[in-house]
Amino acid sequence: MSDSASSGSGFKSAQRMPRVAVIGAGIAGCSAARVMKDAGADVEVFEMGFGPGGRMASRKTREVPGLSINHGAPFFSVNDAVFQEFLQPYISEGVVAPWTGKRLSVDFS
C-alpha cells in the first residue's frame, strides 16, 4: 500500500489533518473550533473584535474604571448534560463562569 492510500477516514494516511480557519470567536465559532481541534485539525480562529465572545462578550468602559457592560446575552442556561460536558474545558480554563449578576425582568403590558 502506498503512502497516498486512503486510511478510511477520508484523509490520505500520509497527510496531516486539514488546516482550518474559523471566522468569528463567538460561541458558534469557538464551539466549531473546539470540535475540530479535538478531532485533530490544525485550527486557527480569526476575530475582528477585541476578544472572543461575540454576543456573549463584555466590554470594559474607559469612562468608568471597573465597569463592564454586557452588550449581548449576559448569560445562558445549561439544561443538558451533553452541553455541560462540552462546556467543562471552558469552565476549567476560566473562559466560562457561573453568572453572578442580577437579572431584571420588566413587564411593559
Q: pLDDT (tens digit, 9 = 90+) per residue, 47-104?
A: 988 778 787 777 788 888 888 777 777 678 889 999 899 889 889 998 888 888 777 7
Q: Is the pLDDT of residue 8 over 60?
A: no
Q: Residue 15's pLDDT is what? A: 67
Question: Position 106: which residue type?
Answer: V
Q: Residue 16's pLDDT is what? A: 72
Ranges 10-24, 31-45, 66-80: which has the least confidence: 10-24
Q: What is the pTM of this model?
A: 0.53
Q: Residue 55's pLDDT is what? A: 75
* Cα angle 79-77-57, degrees, rounded to a multiple of 5: 145
Cα–Cα distance, 83 to 88 (Å, whole number): 9
